[in-house]
Amino acid sequence: MTLWTEALRRAELLAAGAVLARRGLVRGREGNLSCRIGDGAVLLTPRGADKGRLIGADLVLGALDAPPPAAASSEALAHYAVYRACPDVRALVHAHPPGVLALAASGWVPDPHALEEGLALVPRVELVGAAAPGSVDLAAACADALRRAPAAVLLGHGVFCAGSDFAQAVERVEVLELLAGVALAAGRRTGAA
C-alpha cells in the first residue's frame, strides 16, 4: 500500500463525511465512517467529531488484528467486526437518516423493490434488533447482517451500509433514505424484514 493510496483513502473519507453531513444523513457528531487500507489496516473517523468538518489529521488508523484504538469512533467494534467477517467490504458508513429512522420506528425497512434504482444499488436490506450503541452485541449483529446484505437498518438507531468504496457505501445510504421518503410520503410501510 503506497502513501499515495493511503492519502487518497483519507481524502475520500473526508469527502464522504462532508456529503453525509450536507445531506442531513448525519447531524453534528453522529455517525462514523471507515475504510480498509490494504488488507490489514482500517482508517476510521475519531470518537465524537463532526463528520462535516473533519480534517485528515483527525482520522485514526488501526490494525485489524488488534483492538480498535481508543481514539477511534464509538462504533469501531462494529466496523472491525464487519471487516473481519466480510472480506469484500472495503468501506463502511454508519449514518442516521431521518426517513429510515421514522420507518424503522415501526419495525419496517425500506423496500428495494419500490424503485428500480433501489434494487440495483441495494439488492437486500437487513434489520438489526435493538442493541446498545458501541456494544459487542451490536458489532456481532452488524457483521452477521452485512454478511447477507450490503445494508442494515439498526432499530431505533440508524443504518450501516457497506461498499467496495465510499462512493458505493454513501450511495446506498442515500438510496435507503430515498426509499424511506417515498414510502412515508405515500403513506405506506413496505418491506418488512
Interacting residues toward Zn ion by CB under 5 A: 158
Query: Would you say 71 or 115 has its CB closer to Zn ion?
Result: 71
Query: Would you say 150 or 158 has its CB closer to Zn ion?
Result: 158
The residue of the chain with the least Cβ separation from Zn ion equals 158
Cβ atoms 46, 60 nearer than 8 A: yes
Q: Alpha-carbon torsion 62, 67, 73, 77, what sign?
A: positive
Query: Would you say 56 or 133 has its CB closer to Zn ion?
Result: 133
Minimal distance, residue 159 CB to Zn ion, in Å? 9
Question: 126: closest CA among 144, 145, 105, 104?
Answer: 145
> How far is residue 181 from each of residues 87, 104, 150, 169, 178, measured CA to CA in Å?
32, 12, 20, 19, 5
Query: Would you say 110 or 158 has its CB closer to Zn ion?
Result: 158
Minimal distance, residue 5 CB to Zn ion, in Å? 28
Minimal distance, residue 49 CB to Zn ion, in Å? 13
Query: Would you say 110 or 114 has its CB closer to Zn ion?
Result: 110
* Rounded Cα–Cα distance for residues 170 and 163 (Å): 8
* Rounded Cα–Cα distance for residues 126 and 129 (Å): 10
Minimal distance, residue 21 CB to Zn ion, in Å? 14
Minimal distance, residue 10 CB to Zn ion, in Å? 22
For 185, the grid coordinates are 410520503
Question: Strands 41-44 and 60-63, how do they pair?
Answer: antiparallel
Query: Would you say 48 or 67 has its CB closer to Zn ion?
Result: 48
> How far is residue 41 from each of residues 27, 35, 63, 64, measured CA to CA in Å?
27, 9, 4, 6
* Rounded Cα–Cα distance for residues 133 and 105 (Å): 16
Minimal distance, residue 67 CB to Zn ion, in Å? 20
